Amino acid sequence: MRSLSQRQKEMLSFITAFISENGYPPTHEQIRQGLKMSTKSLVNHHLKALERKGVIEREPETPRGIKLLDGLRSFKVPLLGQIAASEEPISFTDSDYEEIELTPDIVKEQDGLYALRVKGDSMIDALINDGDIVVMRHQAVAEGGEMVAVRLKDRNETTLKRFYPEGKRVRLQPANSRVEPVFVHPANVEIQGKVMAVIRHVA
Amino acid sequence: MRSLSQRQKEMLSFITAFISENGYPPTHEQIRQGLKMSTKSLVNHHLKALERKGVIEREPETPRGIKLLDGLRSFKVPLLGQIAASEEPISFTDSDYEEIELTPDIVKEQDGLYALRVKGDSMIDALINDGDIVVMRHQAVAEGGEMVAVRLKDRNETTLKRFYPEGKRVRLQPANSRVEPVFVHPANVEIQGKVMAVIRHVA
DNA sequence: CTTGACATAGAACGCATGTTCTGGTATAAT
DNA sequence: ATTATACCAGAACATGCGTTCTATGTCAAG
């Protein structure tokens, strides 16, 4: 993005604040009043410049038809429940769930996401604490190196580890490089989802 | 919020998606076309109902004057640089920095926040991995139990731990409950900020 | 002195859009 | 049979709003 002049920055800032406050963009007249200009044609002039610089997009002849291109892009993800080593697999049919609001700076891809809250400290060798939120993506097969939620059928236990198929066995590698990997038979493994991100509330 | 009828849910869903896609709300005519209704007065009727149920707010006689009350609320935080055990304290004067977009579901309070990317695995006993992002808040003094970025002057080293003043010494408690705490003299400690959240990109 | 960029000013025009009023159907509960 | 609720339909009206054209001033660079 080319740099903006002082007046352009002011206009962009005004529009951003207006949208935050009101939920919809301002009219040219509202911008004119807000920036203490005497004419709407000056507003149009600056909006054209912001458009040329790739900062906004305008829908022609459309009241409030201004879109910020560097606008905020959050989205919501269902927080379906909890994950712990010893619990039953998560049920995805629950329709009465919380949601958490994420952004592309937390998780790039948005398809098929859900979140789970970690219960207990059994995930600590994945550097995941009790109470952390893991953002998952629905996925029943994994590629080598992906971190997944894996259910070990013989132990009736779920763990979060990096998954490496190695011939006749699977290596499950903890995130903490100082902890030894686990080796299991492929038939013993059920992949419940791929870990996309972890969020920890501290304060 | 009282429960919505089927048609009201459809309308709310349409408006939410439209705003996500376009950056501004739809007109009555756009809603009418989107929901395959034959008249704008029906759109007005349902919008009135959504308003009564406290789901939207409308500015009377205002094109696109619809505000979602459960709207998305993200904000941006400067990503000022890196934090590692052995580096110099972070400079806050850098004006040419990235930003990351967060939401109130990641960090409730928004004042005085900045983010740092962790470099190296020296924070592992705080359950923080190389590459993780810590969201900090400017704060030069800490209360007992808060997790802070602490600089140990004699070792010229920065660490993230929970801070407990205990009379003539300070206890620095790792997040990992299986790791022993560190005891230091209060004069040796310089608090650089309070840890608010940790974000790990996995995939 | 000329040119280009930035900022500014106002009149005029034409289209975009919200709201009200009157009227109807279907279903469920009383 | 009546009432209430949800959903629906269309005409008419009035206001909200974007854009163009013509014009001017200041400052910096060549």
Least confident of A126-135, A188-197, B69-78: B69-78
D19 closest protein residue (CA to C1') = A61
Does the pLDDT value for residue B93 go beyond 60?
no
Does the pLDDT value for residue B90 go beyond 60?
no
Supply the mean pLDDT for chain A.
Answer: 86
CATH 2.10.109.10 fits B75-199, yes or no: yes
| Pairwise CB contact (< 8 Å): A101 & B101 | no
pLDDT value, residue A88: 60
Does the pLDDT value for residue A2 go beyond 70?
no
For the entire predicted model, the pTM comes to 0.77
Catalytic site includes residue B161: yes
B120 or B61: which leads in pLDDT: B61
Instruction: Give the pLDDT band (50/70/90) at residue B1.
Output: very low
Tokens of A157: 């236990």
Q: Which chain A residues touch B202 with a CB distance below 8 Å? A: 147, 195-198
Estimate in Å the CA A42 to C1' D25 gap, whole number: 14
Does residue A21 approach strand D to less than 7 Å at its CB? Answer: no
Which fold, A6-68? Arc Repressor Mutant, subunit A (1.10.10)
Catalytic site includes residue B122: yes
Which residue, among A73, A127, A150, would best test binding to B if mutated, counting the most B CBs under 10 Å from its CB?
A127
Chain D footprint bases within 7 A of protein beta carbons: 6-12, 15-22
Does residue A42 approach strand C to less than 7 Å at its CB? Answer: yes
Q: What is the mean pLDDT of residues B85-97?
A: 57
Q: A166 has which bridge partners?
A: A169
How far apart (Å, rounded) are the C-alpha atoms in residues A107 and A52? 30
Which residues 18-77 of B interface with strand D at a CB distance below 7 A? 37-42, 45-46, 49, 61-63, 65
Q: What is the 3-state secondary structure (H, E, C) of chain A?
A: CCCCCHHHHHHHHHHHHHHHHHCCCCCHHHHHHHCCCCCHHHHHHHHHHHHHCCCEEECCCCCCCEEECCCCCCEEEEEEEEECCCCCCCCCCCCCCEEEEECCCCCCCCCCEEEEEECCCCCHHHCCCCCCEEEEECCCCCCCCCEEEEEECCCCEEEEEEEEEECCEEEEECCCCCCCCEEECHHHEEEEEEEEEEEEECC
Estimate in Å the CA B63 to C1' D16 gap, whole number: 7
Supply the mean pLDDT for chain B.
Answer: 86
Instruction: Give the pLDDT band (50/70/90) at residue A7.
Output: confident
pLDDT tens across A96-122, in order? Answer: 578 899 999 999 888 899 999 988 877
How far apart (Å, rounded) are the C-alpha atoms in residues B15 and B10? 9
Could you tell me the residue ranges of all domains in chain B? 6-68, 75-199
Angle subtended at Cα A59 by Cα A55 and Cα A60, rounded to the nearest 5 degrees? 120
* Cβ(B195)–Cβ(A203) below 8 Å: yes
pLDDT value, residue A154: 85
Looking at B20, B53, B122, B168, which residue is catalytic? B122
pLDDT value, residue B80: 85
Does residue A32 approach strand C to less than 7 Å at its CB? Answer: no
Q: What is the mean pLDDT of residues B41-50?
A: 92
pLDDT value, residue B96: 58
pLDDT value, residue A185: 92
Does residue B28 approach strand C to less than 7 Å at its CB? Answer: yes
The nearest CA of chain A is from the CA of B52 a distance in Å of 18
pLDDT tens across B184-199, in order? Answer: 999 988 898 999 999 9
